Structure 1
Amino acid sequence: MSGPECCSNPPNLSSSSGSGSVTQLGGLKAYVSASSNSKQAILLISDVYGYESPNLRKLADKVANAGFYAVVPDFMHGEPYDPDNADKPLPVWLSIHNTDRGFEDAKPVIAALKSQGITTVGAAGFCWGAKVVVELAKSALIQAAVLLHPSLTSLDDVKEVKVPMALLGAEVDKHSPPELMRQFGEILISTKVKSFVKIFPGVAHGWAVRYKAEDEFAVKSAEEAHQDMLDWFLAHME
């Protein structure tokens, strides 16, 4: 996941957003937006820009409004990727904040949710976060998964997925081009895992969370992806 495509459009973090709150969960800070008395949780695992993204928090609120307990953990431990930090270019940053660490960090978060009475957990991952979701899906630590413009994920990874998975891709994406997304889907079919693949025309990597509010087409495409994500969880969370 290198080059300008994945990291050229960082979110604007200048203003807080969302109707939820930040709390401690499983040893991490997490933005939580919860439907009252929900027993079903959805983890939203961010891209390299971290859990403070206003668009991601707005999505968490939307997930909560659909009846879920929405959680956006800070898997970056307070240090999201900063393209202006010359001391930590992306390869160096990724060596510290790698997806294996994200997977391990997710385990106590899920355990904490279960200790609070959550019965089922789904997870959606964006770019970097999608690889963490794949690892959770391989280990069956979640009940349903959605990948949105994933990166760092291989064909071999997908062969080990054990839970229903939706794949939402961009027409323009070097990290997960449409053909690779379709191959992922073919693998899931061959392994008899419930799956759904959709390629969104006219959008690029990151569109689902790094859209600009003034771009009507981008917003519409992102909202369509969000609804597809919600529909998947509503259909496959038991």
Structure 2
Amino acid sequence: MSLCKHCVSGVTHDGTPEGKWEKINGVETYIATPTVEYPKDKVLLFLPDVFGPQLPNAQLLADDYARNGFKTIVIDYFEGDPIPPEALNPGSNFDFMAWLPHHSAAQVRPLIDKVIAALKEEGVTTFAAVGYCFGGRYVFDLGFDNVIKVAATSHPSLLKIPDDLEKYLATSQAPLLINSCTIDPQFPLEASAKADEILGDGKFAPGYKREYFEGCTHGFAVRGDLSDPKVKAGKEGAFKATVEWFLEYL
């Protein structure tokens, strides 16, 4: 597995997180709960990028999903060892390729499954998942196993193209939204075209949509520089598209 330089670049967003930290089945999570009435049997799993739920950007996004009526749980599948936010600083020499092997699917997926199992015991019957960068890999995996009812991802990382797209077509029943962008070594324009070819035009019966944000770079939907009008529009557009996708299918 490999990541690109854009996986560890971006900015920290301003704001005061409103959620709370809680262990679910021994796994640390950040939980954002709607302040209005919401369906207690539904949960949105927020699968973060390599900075984990500790990055304020992820917490603020989770809070925004909660404001739209979704109880949102950000899973710390790095067990307190995300890439530190200091890695975003210019000149950082953080070795993320040395970090990555310690957080493979063998370590990550069981933690997601533990959280899901505990939530099911609490009466949750329906799951959606949104994944950013690293988290996009696990949105696909949960879709393969039909653990989730609906899926969305922005600039997914670590996918095998076209294999994972073909597997999604063959095995998943979860409608899939992909938010893509102009500059993305992890999900380049060729991958976007392949996704449309394999899943588009009604080929994937449960539902498929790909949004494209011109002038944006991998990571824009969670770590984009909001002083750039195109990036700000991309981040807000990806969030809006994801909320609308969940409202339609969840």
Offset of residue 117 of structure 1? 2.0
TM-superposition CA deviations, 1:57-114 (whole Å, max 9, x none): 111111111111101111111111244465xx22221111123432221111111222
Kindly report which structure 2 residues correspond to 1:179-194, keeping only aligned pairs within 5 A, or say none. 179-189=190-200, 190-194=203-207
Question: Is the Cα–Cα contact under 8 Å of residues 43 and 123 in structure 1 kept in the other structure?
Answer: yes
Q: Which amino acid is 1:2 matched to?
A: L
Q: Say which of 107, 121, 127 aligns to 1:101.
A: 107
Whether 1:68 aligns to 2:70 is: yes
Q: Which amino acid is 1:20 matched to?
A: G
Matching residue of 1:31: 30
Whether 1:81 aligns to 2:116 is: no
The change in CA–CA distance for 1:3 and 1:33 in structure 2 (over 3 A counts) is closer
User: What residue ranges of structure 1 are gaps of 5+ in the alignment?
Assistant: none
Offset of residue 213 of structure 1? 4.0
Q: Which amino acid is 2:75 matched to?
A: P
SS in structure 2 at match of 1:50: coil
Matching residue of 1:220: 233
Kindly report which structure 2 residues correspond to 1:11-26, keeping only aligned pairs within 5 A, or say none. 11=12, 17-26=16-25
Offset of residue 27 of structure 1? 2.1
Q: Which amino acid is 1:184 matched to?
A: A
Task: Calculate the TM-score normalised by the size of structure 2.
Answer: 0.86
Whether 1:176 aligns to 2:183 is: no
The change in CA–CA distance for 1:8 and 1:102 in structure 2 (over 3 A counts) is same
Pick which of 54-63 and 29-38 moved more: 29-38
Pick which of 189-198 and 133-142 moved more: 189-198
Find the aligned partners of 2:65 and 2:10 in 1 and give their Cα distance.
Answer: 24
The change in CA–CA distance for 1:234 and 1:212 in structure 2 (over 3 A counts) is same
The change in CA–CA distance for 1:144 and 1:102 in structure 2 (over 3 A counts) is same
Matching residue of 1:124: 130
Task: Calculate the TM-score normalised by the size of structure 1.
Answer: 0.90
Matching residue of 1:8: 9
Find the aligned partners of 2:222 and 2:33 in 1 and give their Cα distance.
Answer: 20
TM-superposition CA deviations, 1:141-183 (whole Å, max 9, x none): 1111111001111221222221111011111111101220231
Q: Say which of 147, 157, 163 aligns to 2:164.
A: 157
Question: Is the Cα–Cα contact under 8 Å of residues 182 and 197 in structure 1 kept in the other structure?
Answer: no
Whether 1:45 aligns to 2:31 is: no
Find the aligned partners of 1:57 and 1:171 in 2 and give their Cα distance.
Answer: 26
Question: Is the Cα–Cα contact under 8 Å of residues 131 and 151 in structure 1 kept in the other structure?
Answer: yes
Pick which of 95-104 and 68-77 moved more: 95-104
Whether 1:197 aligns to 2:204 is: no
Q: Which amino acid is 1:147 matched to?
A: T
Offset of residue 37 of structure 1? 4.6
Offset of residue 10 of structure 1? 5.8
User: What residue ranges of structure 2 are gaps of 5+ in the alignment?
Assistant: none
Find the aligned partners of 1:219 and 1:172 in 2 and give their Cα distance.
Answer: 15
RMSD (Å) for aligned C-alpha atoms: 2.0
Offset of residue 8 of structure 1? 2.7
Question: Is the Cα–Cα contact under 8 Å of residues 99 and 131 in structure 1 kept in the other structure?
Answer: no
Find the aligned partners of 1:207 and 1:231 in 2 and give their Cα distance.
Answer: 19
Find the aligned partners of 1:58 and 1:78 in 2 and give their Cα distance.
Answer: 19
Find the aligned partners of 1:194 and 1:100 in 2 and give their Cα distance.
Answer: 29
The change in CA–CA distance for 1:3 and 1:197 in structure 2 (over 3 A counts) is closer
